[in-house]
Amino acid sequence: MEGEVVLLDFWPSMFGMRTRIALAEKQIKYEYREEDLRNKSALLLQMNPVHKKIPVLIHNGKPICESLIQVQYIDEVWNDRAPLLPPNPYQRATARFWADFVDKKIYDLGGKLWRTKGEEQEAAKKELIECLKLLEGQLGDNPYFGGKDFGFLDVALVPFYCWFYTYEKFGRFSIEAECPKLIAWAKRCMQKESVAKSLADQEKIYDFVLHLKKALGIE
Amino acid sequence: MSKAGLVLLDCWVSPFCMRVKIALNEKGLQYEARPEDLFGGKSDLLLNSNPIYKKVPVFLHDGKPLCESSIIVAYIDETWSSPPLLPSCSYARAQARFWADYIDKKVVFDACGNIWRSKGEVPVEAKTEFIEILKQLEGALGDKEYFNGDTFGFVDIVAIPLTCWFFALEKIGGFSVAAECPKFSSWMKRCLQRESVAKVMPDPEKVYEFVLMFRKMQGID
């Protein structure tokens, strides 16, 4: 029923982690292939000729690109277990809206924290905290963004949790101090096997960024 | 269905608002389009309904706000199922979402913005990139009547409104979409024959006037 499932990925990518979590939630067996982004495989370039990026999900030889699109695809194809999007169209639209907000804001702002210094870094930190607070507000009294159950927006956001340590070290601040409810939510998610097995180790991410900065010539 | 149940906070020249109107027309739905004065002062309803971005379109369904045009179109499709705007096959749906996302990422700001926002002569690279992106979309269209296949659908709705800005881009950039991308141009004409689209798309000459005025306002001209 499953067919052949392959994921072209890169271990620190929060986008790849989303797809790993969705596959794990649905208990889908798949082949994980690590890409070297400085030397992209012929398969990656063939399967994602438009953007040439990971993650790429390949199902029965056919590629699906863009992490949120992959998560929706996985949810629709394996619709007999662990639903990620709610059945109600308004709740679906709300989940999509906030997942899109995460895509528009968190990655770039977080990146500025380790790529820049001084005023630019401070401005990014301020805006990142504001965005995380907005997201925290969406939780309300629920254990997950999906409500009682882990869902689409939880999958979209939780991979950033393993990058928070890096953001905090470079930005010299504590996300837990600013957004305690959000961190409580992240820790709750980490108790799920699908999340714990999919996220990278936060210290390894930090080391990766230190090396990346050197390689890119950023002080 | 009462018109009052469906309200669109609108702006005539916004391709994003046009997407929502086309989707509503395709579904045969009556709605109230309320024009927003984006320069004079946004309404309280807009600011309260879209506090995050404070932008149009905002679609209100019985008072409940929805923001971001592609998300609104998907909501309309899921709430009123006939005729379907997305294909029924999961893989084809993923492909449709991919191209809608590509259009939003590449066409809107990069390709179009680089042309109409440029001061002085439009750099060759901006024009080349724009044409390459349209050729990429031509590849996605293939031999199909519409991006959606035999029937007009989601990607067509996401893409067609941007084309009313092309006349302005052609005038400012000194190039012709029809000459460079004839297949894309044929698709555009095909879509414009649909009533749901023709009712909504403004005259490209009026869009050009608007772009010139906006450029002056921004100090580009």
- Tell me the mean pLDDT in the region A194-207: 98
8 Å CB contact of B72 and A72: no
Asked whether residue B119 is domain-assigned, the answer is yes
- Asked if residue B149 and residue B61 are part of one domain, the reply reads no
Residue type (1 letter), B154: F
Of the residues B79, B105, B132, the one at which a domain ends: B79
Asked whether residue B94 is domain-assigned, the answer is yes
A214 pLDDT more than 80 = yes
| Partner-chain residue, chosen from A69, A77, A93, that has the shortest CB–CB distance to B97 | A69
8 Å CB contact of B94 and A73: yes
Average pLDDT of every residue of chain B: 94
- Asked if residue B117 and residue B69 are part of one domain, the reply reads no
- Asked if residue B193 and residue B105 are part of one domain, the reply reads yes
Look up residue B180 and give its two tokens.
């460079």
- Asked if residue B195 and residue B94 are part of one domain, the reply reads yes
Check if the beta carbon of residue A169 is closer than 8 Å to that of residue A206. yes
B85 pLDDT more than 70 = yes
pLDDT at position B109: 67
pLDDT at position B221: 78
pLDDT tens for residues B136-183? 999 999 999 999 999 999 999 999 999 999 999 999 999 999 999 999
Residues of B in contact with A65 (CB under 8 A): 98
Distance CA B33, CA B59 (A): 9
- Asked if residue B180 and residue B148 are part of one domain, the reply reads yes
| Partner-chain residue, chosen from A70, A90, A100, that has the shortest CB–CB distance to B64 | A90
Number of structural domains found in chain B: 2
- Tell me the mean pLDDT in the region A115-124: 97
- Asked if residue B107 and residue B51 are part of one domain, the reply reads no
Q: Is the pTM of this model over 0.90?
A: yes
pLDDT tens for residues B8-58? 999 999 999 999 999 999 999 999 999 999 888 999 999 999 999 999 999
Of the residues B29, B49, B79, the one at which a domain ends: B79
- Asked if residue B96 and residue B75 are part of one domain, the reply reads no
Distance CA A143, CA A149 (A): 8
Tell me, what CATH number does B29's domain have?
Answer: 3.40.30.10
A11 pLDDT more than 50 = yes
Asked whether residue B84 is domain-assigned, the answer is no
Residue type (1 letter), A140: G
- Asked if residue B152 and residue B127 are part of one domain, the reply reads yes
Is the minimum CB–CB distance between B71 and chain A shorter than 8 Å?
yes
Asked whether residue B185 is domain-assigned, the answer is yes
Q: Chain B closest CA to A191's CA: distance in Å?
A: 30
Distance CA A143, CA A123 (A): 31
Asked whether residue B129 is domain-assigned, the answer is yes
How distant is the alpha carbon of residue B168 from its chain centre?
15
Residues with Cβ within 8 Å of residue A20, at least 6 apart in sequence: A7, A9, A32, A197, A198
> What's the domain range around B38?
6-79
Distance CA B27, CA B21 (A): 10
Residues of A in contact with B52 (CB under 8 A): 101, 134
| Partner-chain residue, chosen from A69, A72, A100, that has the shortest CB–CB distance to B71 | A100
pLDDT tens for residues B179-215? 999 999 999 999 999 999 999 999 999 999 999 999 9
- Asked if residue B97 and residue B25 are part of one domain, the reply reads no
Asked whether residue B1 is domain-assigned, the answer is no
In a 3-state reduction of DSSP, which class is residue A86? coil
- Asked if residue B213 and residue B128 are part of one domain, the reply reads yes
For chains A and B, CB pairs below 8 A equal 52
B84 pLDDT more than 70 = yes
A82 pLDDT more than 70 = yes
Mutation target among B49, B50, B64, B97 for the A interface, most CBs of A within 10 A: B97
Least CA distance to B74: which residue of chain A?
A93
Check if the beta carbon of residue A23 is closer than 8 Å to that of residue A77. no
8 Å CB contact of B64 and A89: no
- Residue for token pair 């949120």: A68
8 Å CB contact of B67 and A77: no
Average pLDDT of every residue of chain A: 97
B75 pLDDT more than 60 = yes
Mutation target among A79, A97, A106 for the B interface, most CBs of B within 10 A: A97
Predicted confidence band at B1 (pLDDT cuts at 50, 70, 90)? very low
Predicted confidence band at B120 (pLDDT cuts at 50, 70, 90)? confident
Asked whether residue B85 is domain-assigned, the answer is no
Residues of A in contact with B49 (CB under 8 A): none
A80 pLDDT more than 60 = yes
- Asked if residue B122 and residue B44 are part of one domain, the reply reads no
Asked whether residue B123 is domain-assigned, the answer is yes
Of the residues B51, B79, B107, the one at which a domain ends: B79
DSSP, res A143? S
Tell me, what CATH number does B200's domain have?
Answer: 1.20.1050.10
Residues of A in contact with B64 (CB under 8 A): 90
Is the minimum CB–CB distance between B79 and chain A shorter than 8 Å?
yes
- Asked if residue B112 and residue B159 are part of one domain, the reply reads yes
In a 3-state reduction of DSSP, which class is residue B57? coil
